Amino acid sequence: MKKTIIAVLASVALTSSAFAADFDATTIRLAHTAATSHAHHKACEQFAKNVADRTGGKVKVEVYPAGELGDQPALAEQITMSSLDMAVVSLGNLATYSKKLNAMTAPFLFDNYDHAHKVIDGFVMDWMNEGLKDHDTYALSMYDYGFRQTTTKGIVVNSAKDLKGVKIRVPPATGLLAAFDAIGANTQKIAYSELYQSLKQGVVDGQENPVFTILADSLFETQDQLALTSHYFDCQGLIINKTTFDNFKPELQKIIKEEAVKAQNLTREMISGGEAKVIEELKGKGMNVTTPDRQSFIDMMGPAYTKIGELSGQDEMNKLLENVKKFK
């Protein structure tokens, strides 16, 4: 029996060694902008480990977190220019290369996480890659970033009218700006790297981000109100330079695709499954939490949808909305 076990183990080792030998020694550089405590970094680390394990260490994935290789617009540009292999980039930033992706920045598209995931898996991925192929970019999977919520200092938010005239930092994503402009907020475009100091110094009264970002980047230190507006489902593509990907052997392409989806699923588990716990942590850090009247926001989104439709192309906007309805 002992000899049999040894023989089996030797056979497995030989097979594993032979399998690893099928891969060329390769280093893949993967960059993102999230903090090392964030789900996105955990997903990238898992991706790197699993790819290395499945290729016998022949393929090494180097992960560069927290904007080490640049902000998201810079990472997207590096992918399109073949100067970076992989990155995690928001759809708002990818819309620079495929204008129809502006449609995905529309506010209040999805009812909940399950609804968003169904639309992404059943429609968005293929639709997105159609637009990115002309820019040497391929999306492997979609990381959850979470529903975005609104924070303020000293301003309790129970409905859309409570944000009228409030100075709020909003990222340049078309839909986010359009949504807060539509409710009459005083939107400010401030680089994320400058946000904490801007909040601390009172340059703006509020901002909006998923609760995971609010916790991970200590934004709660500058804000005492958390309004669960869930105004926008934020997700970010795990993208790869298409020429680089096409040059990999089919066996490696298969592993990369499979592990990209596993990494995506880890973000889904951590983000949707962990949101309630994070909200409780933020309460414990002194934040007052409200659940504003969602309809009061939706009723004012007409101008935002008009603007987004113009920027994305109304036909593409309609395709997305049809699928949002289909997967409800």
Residue 163 forms part of a structural domain:
yes
The CA distance from 29 to 87, in Å, is 8
Q: What would the mean pLDDT of 156-181 be, rounded to a whole number?
A: 94
SS3 209: strand
219 lies in some domain: yes
Residue 318 lies in a domain: no
pLDDT on residue 14: 43
Phi/psi region, residue 108 (left: phi>0; alpha: psi -120 to 50; beta: rest), is left
Q: Which long-range contacts (CB under 8 A, 24 or more apart) does 274-277 make?
A: 274/39, 274/212, 275/146, 275/147, 275/211, 275/212
Alpha helix stretches (DSSP H) within the chain:
2-21, 39-54, 72-80, 91-94, 113-119, 125-132, 174-182, 195-200, 211-216, 242-247, 250-284, 294-298, 302-312, 314-326
| pLDDT at residue 17 greater than cutoff 60 | no
Mean pLDDT of the 239-268 span:
98
- Does a structural domain hold residue 98? yes
Tell me the average pLDDT across 164-192.
Answer: 93
Q: Assess if residue 158 is contained within a domain.
A: yes
Residue 240, in any domain of the structure: yes
How far apart are alpha carbons 37 and 33 in whole angstroms? 12
Q: Is the predicted pLDDT of residue 2 greater than 70, yes or no?
A: no
Asked if pLDDT for residue 3 goes beyond 80, the answer is no
Domain that holds residue 132: 2-309
Does residue 211 contact residue 283 with C-beta atoms inside 8 Å?
Answer: no
pLDDT band at 22 (very low <50, low <70, confident <90, very high): confident
Q: How confident is the model at residue 216 (pLDDT cuts 50, 70, 90)?
A: confident
Whether 278 is covered by a domain: the verdict is yes
* Total domains present in the chain: 1
Q: Among 139-143, 168-172, 312-316, whose mean pLDDT is lowest?
A: 168-172
Q: Whole-model pTM?
A: 0.89
Question: Is pLDDT of 8 > 70?
Answer: no
Residue 325 lies in a domain: no
Domain containing 65 — which CATH number?
3.40.190.170
- With cut-offs at 50, 70 and 90, classify the pLDDT of residue 173: confident
- CA pair distance 98, 89, nearest whole angstrom: 13
